[in-house]
Amino acid sequence: MSALYAIDTNLLVYAHNTTAPFHTEAKSFIEKAFSNYDISREVCIPAQVLVEFLNVITWSKIGNPLPLDKATIIVQRYIASGVPIIHPQATQLTTLFSLLEGMTTRKKIFDVALAATLKDNNIKGLYTINVKDFKEFGFLDVVNPLAIN
């Protein structure tokens, strides 16, 4: 697979929530990433990110949540766009347990599960606003694309 950088949930949420911080920047990044305009690395989206996007963008506690039917249409458009959607492999749990070694908190389990999917799919990078949440995974190049000048 030529897609080397995965897109994290927060970028999709910011891009589609007009009241979110960084909305304009995230929307611009996503549009460029999907058109490969001005982005030097190809992208993919983990299936977990699309599920998490549906959960977050429809949550009543965020400003301006979307109705589920509109959020579902957005996800279907991402799937139809042709960008690779990556899925957990059969080794997901083994990789997850390996990455959890030494961790003492449950707070990062979903981040670790995402990291395991990326590792098992040989994805070398992650575009996210939450860089600090993924820095401990030495196999990933973690980049905040909104901080790039």
Higher pLDDT, 117 or 32: 117
DSSP state of 41: S
**pLDDT > 90 fraction of the chain, expressed in percent and rounded:** 72
Distance between CA atoms of residues 86 and 115, nearest Å: 12
Q: What is the CATH number of domain 5-142?
A: 3.40.50.1010
Residue 39 has pLDDT above 80, yes or no: no
Give the highest mean pLDDT range of 56-65, 72-81, 95-104.
72-81
- The mean pLDDT of the chain is 90
Q: What is the mean pLDDT of residues 108-132?
A: 95
Other beta carbons less than 10 A from residue 138's beta carbon:
6
Return the residue matching tokens 């589920």.
68
Note the pLDDT of residue 38. Answer: 43
Confidence tier at 37 by pLDDT (50, 70, 90): very low
Confidence tier at 63 by pLDDT (50, 70, 90): confident
pTM: 0.90
DSSP state of 103: -
Note the pLDDT of residue 118. Answer: 97
Lowest-confidence pick of 2-11, 36-45, 77-86, 88-97: 36-45
- Return the domain boundaries, the chain: 5-142
Alpha helix stretches (DSSP H) within 7-62 = 9-16, 23-35, 47-57
